[in-house]
Amino acid sequence: MDIEKIRYEFPIFSKNSLKETPLIYLDNASTTHKPQRVIDAITDFYSFSYANVGRGSYGLAQEATKRYEAIRLQVSKFIKAKNVNEIVFTSGTTDGINKMAQSFFQAFAKAGDQILISSQAHHSNLLVWEQWATAYQLKVKEIPTHSMGQIDLKALSQLCKNKTVLVAIEAGTNAFGTIQPVSEIVKIAHESGAKVLIDAAQWITYAPTDVEIWDCDFLVFSAHKVFGPTGLGVLYGKSEWLDKMPPMTLGGGGVLRTVPQTVFKESPYKHEAGTPHMAGVLGLGEALDFITDIGFEQITSHANSLLAYALKELRNMEGVEIYQHLHSPALPIVSFGLSGIHPHDVAAYLNESQICLRAGHHCAQPALVTEGLKATLRASFTLYNTKDEIDELIKHLKTAQKFFS
Ligand SMILES: Cc1ncc(COP(=O)(O)O)c(C=O)c1O
């Protein structure tokens, strides 16, 4: 993989490459930068072919609809969905979980049912369940995990026996980069009749996603974490469930008629009322093409080698605590701390050298508390990162230790 060529496609890096201190962006678990072709796809749509989709019968609107629907098909193929109608566009992972939750409970949950989540849950895959559980008189339980959050399958099996309607877990966690055994989790849940939602926000850029192999019932991800635009996400749901679920959003575009009585469209359209983020969808299509052109084999192997290198270099340092589960593979995320220095101080220090690293609880506070932590530093890598950048990080972490000693 020619990293220099890849970096060249990202304006943010070429703009910064001539500066005395180039940008070192290691917060890819939070969001990824955009290649020029994604930016162009969005601006071209606004500049030259803009019209609303699914409504107008004139040429411009028909063409916009055709392109929008072509990306729905592309997304379905990208995650290996059986059917294009299983793809609902949302505004992101958080929005997808919120929309799915309300509709799911109305369709499938009864008072006294149980929802199982992970102790590693991102707040977006936690708060919604807590809120709606109260409203629908359901229980939310945490599945016990091994160190750094790998789900304990035996415990899951036991818990599932107790009126479990849904298991909602992350394919890979954002706090520690732990990858969950998704297929096994789904199998166990299905044996008890529970459905499974996979939060693939972190997984989606790391390796290929195959919803048929996983056999999950629902899956969500955000476009902005796969080099696409903000404000757009995908909710995958098996047709048999999406068809039974009431519309996730109510309004124009989601109905065939309202007089003499309301008749909703088929899914996914009944779930997508309102004018969608059309430009975003086109940007996502371009981002997925960008990924496909490089190929996951290269992307995953590059991510693995950066992670291994970062871990080796961090382990060679004195005064570093690394918070990572011992099983591989893991997402290209390293959570760590410098003994005696607050992560926020280190992040502020690194920022002076244009090194972008996340510090805090990473919107997964229960995950950190489970490990006895309040905050960590988190470096997360993707296809445009290099070993040289990791060397720079290590160099500045060492000077940070001196500075704060
Ligand atoms: C595992 C996980 N779930 C959900 C989210 C929320 O994603 P978004 O803010 O794009 O809705 C994130 C974001 O970091 C995440 O890492």
Instruction: Establish whether residue 199 lines the binding site of ligand 1, counting it when its CB lies within 6 angstroms of any ligand atom.
Output: yes
DSSP helix/strand/coil, 88: strand
Q: What is the pLDDT of residue 120?
A: 87
- For residue 343, CA distances in Å to 22, 31, 199, 365, 373 come to 22, 20, 27, 15, 11
Q: What is the pLDDT of residue 325?
A: 67
Q: Are 83 and 242 spatial neighbours (Cβ–Cβ below 8 Å)?
A: no
Query: SS3 for 287-330, per residue?
Result: HHHHHHHHCHHHHHHHHHHHHHHHHHHHHCCCCEEEECCCCCCE
Lookup: tokens for 139: 């229980």
Q: What is the pLDDT of residue 189?
A: 98
Q: What is the pLDDT of residue 370?
A: 86
Instruction: Establish whether residue 28 lines the binding site of ligand 1, counting it when its CB lies within 6 angstroms of any ligand atom.
Output: no
Sequence-separated (6 or more) residues with CB below 8 Å from residue 303: 206, 331, 332, 381, 382, 383
Which class for 123: exposed (0-12), middle (13-18), buried (19 or more C-beta within 10 A)? middle
Q: What is the pLDDT of residue 327?
A: 64
Q: What is the pLDDT of residue 21?
A: 83
Please give the CATH topology (third level) of the domain spanning 39-292.
Answer: Aspartate Aminotransferase; domain 2 (3.40.640)
Instruction: Give the Cα separation of 254 and 185 in Å (integer).
Output: 34
Q: What is the pLDDT of residue 231?
A: 98
pLDDT single digits (tens) 168-216: 999 999 999 999 999 999 999 999 999 999 999 999 999 999 999 999 9
Instruction: Establish whether residue 217 lines the binding site of ligand 1, counting it when its CB lies within 6 angstroms of any ligand atom.
Output: no
List the chain domain ranges: 3-30+295-404, 39-292
Residue 363 annotated to the active site: yes
Instruction: Establish whether residue 92 lines the binding site of ligand 1, counting it when its CB lies within 6 angstroms of any ligand atom.
Output: yes
Q: Among 243, 268, 241, 86, which residue's Cα sits nearest to residue 166?
A: 241
Q: What is the pLDDT of residue 130?
A: 93
Instruction: Establish whether residue 324 lines the binding site of ligand 1, counting it when its CB lies within 6 angstroms of any ligand atom.
Output: no
Q: Which of 90, 93, 129 to mutate to test the pocket of ligand 1 (most atoms within 8 A of CB)?
A: 93
Report, as ranges of residue numbers, the positions in the chain whose pLDDT lies below 70: 16-19, 325-328
Q: What is the pLDDT of residue 17?
A: 65
> What superfamily in CATH does domain 3-30+295-404 come from?
Aspartate Aminotransferase, domain 1 (3.90.1150.10)
| Fold matches, 3-30+295-404 and 39-292 | no
Q: Among 347, 230, 225, which residue's Cα sits nearest to residue 280?
A: 230
- Ligand 1 center–CA 95 separation, angstroms: 10
CA-proximal residue: ligand 1, atom 12 (nearest): 201
What sections of 200-277 are H helices per DSSP?
211-214, 239-242
Instruction: Give the Cα separation of 151 and 167 in Å (integer).
Output: 12
